[in-house]
């Protein structure tokens, strides 16, 4: 199914899809990184878990009218997606205050954001993915003002869909990071992944962290936590 390796990132390898022009194979790795790559570790089974979780979430977004690059799950660690030109913006949606925003703005941990807060970051490892405003985003990327407005609106729609999904399995969606890509025909769609690598997820009753923060902070077993997310999602199908 896969052909030449085109790119390797921190969490995934990207291959051309064999005999399928305009499509890619994403292969999820077992690597975990934090703090812009300063902390690294390999967890056997992490790639499988992120692939399985993302492959369950993307079809739910499709059902709710969200356009994405996802086509299908191929096997335990790989999925088939449409090729897109990634827009160099990270779109972060925050429902509760935690992480960097509490330090940056002095906001008390767990403060709810009503309505949810949308932030933009410039995707550049050398610069540490800095926080930017809309004017910066328009200057640094190839999006138009109307497209940027659409991206932010779509992020909030995704937040509604994901919040409802996670509430159904007794999990609070605290915040999450999205990436978008431009299709060959110019349409902008959700790309990358939706997983505990890219979402902050807390058990609704215990407030236990069920995401990559257990690795960042050294407070738990990453594989055990990701398995818990997958098992809860499987129980809904």
Alpha-carbon torsion 50, 99, 149, 63, what sign? Answer: positive
Among candidate residues 63, 69, 86, the one with its CA nearest the CA of residue 26: 69
Q: What residues does 8 pair with on adjacent strands?
A: 13
Q: Residue 197: what pLDDT?
A: 97
Mean pLDDT by 10 residues, the chain (237 residues): 92 96 97 85 97 98 98 98 98 97 96 98 94 98 97 98 98 98 97 97 97 95 97 90
CB neighbourhood size of 236 (10 A): 10
Threshold 0.85, pTM exceeds: yes
Residue matched to tokens 């940056």: 104
Q: Where are the beta strands (DSSP E) in the chain?
A: 2-8, 12-17, 23-28, 31-34, 39-42, 70-73, 78-82, 85-86, 89-96, 112-122, 131-132, 171-182, 188-191, 199-203
Element containing residue 226 per DSSP (H, E): helix 222-235
Query: Is residue 228 classed as helix, strand or coil in its secondary structure?
Result: helix
Residue matched to tokens 């930017």: 132
Residue matched to tokens 């407070």: 219
**DSSP string of 71-140, one letter each residue:** EEE-SSSEEEEE--EE-SEEEEEEEE--THHHHHH-PPTT-EEEEEEEEEEE--GGGT--EE-HHHHHHH
Cα separation, 156 vs 132, in Å, equals 18
Q: Residue 233: what pLDDT?
A: 97
236 sits in the region (left: phi over 0; alpha: psi -120 to 50; else beta) called: alpha
């Amino acid at each position: 199914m896969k052909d030449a390796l085109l790119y390797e990132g921190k969490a995934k390898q990207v291959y051309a899809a064999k005999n399928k022009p305009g499509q890619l194979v994403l292969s999820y790795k077992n690597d975990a990184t934090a703090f812009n790559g300063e902390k690294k570790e390999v967890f056997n089974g992490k790639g499988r878990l992120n692939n399985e979780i993302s492959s369950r979430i993307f079809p739910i977004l499709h059902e709710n009218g969200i356009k994405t690059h996802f086509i299908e799950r191929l096997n335990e660690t790989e999925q088939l997606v449409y090729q897109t030109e990634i827009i160099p913006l990270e779109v972060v949606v925050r429902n509760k205050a935690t992480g960097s925003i509490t330090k940056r703005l002095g906001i008390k941990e767990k403060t709810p954001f009503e309505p949810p807060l949308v932030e933009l970051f410039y995707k550049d490892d050398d610069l540490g993915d800095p926080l930017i405003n809309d004017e910066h985003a328009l200057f640094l990327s190839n999006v138009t003002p109307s497209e940027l407005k659409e991206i932010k609106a779509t992020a909030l729609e995704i937040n509604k869909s994901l919040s409802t999904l996670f509430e159904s399995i007794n999990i609070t969606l605290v915040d999450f990071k999205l990436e978008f890509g431009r299709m060959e025909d110019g349409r902008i769609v959700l790309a990358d992944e939706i997983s505990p690598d890219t979402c902050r997820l807390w058990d609704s009753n215990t407030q236990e962290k069920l995401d990559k923060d257990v690795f960042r902070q050294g407070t738990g077993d990453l594989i055990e936590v990701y398995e818990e997310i997958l098992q809860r999602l499987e129980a809904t199908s």
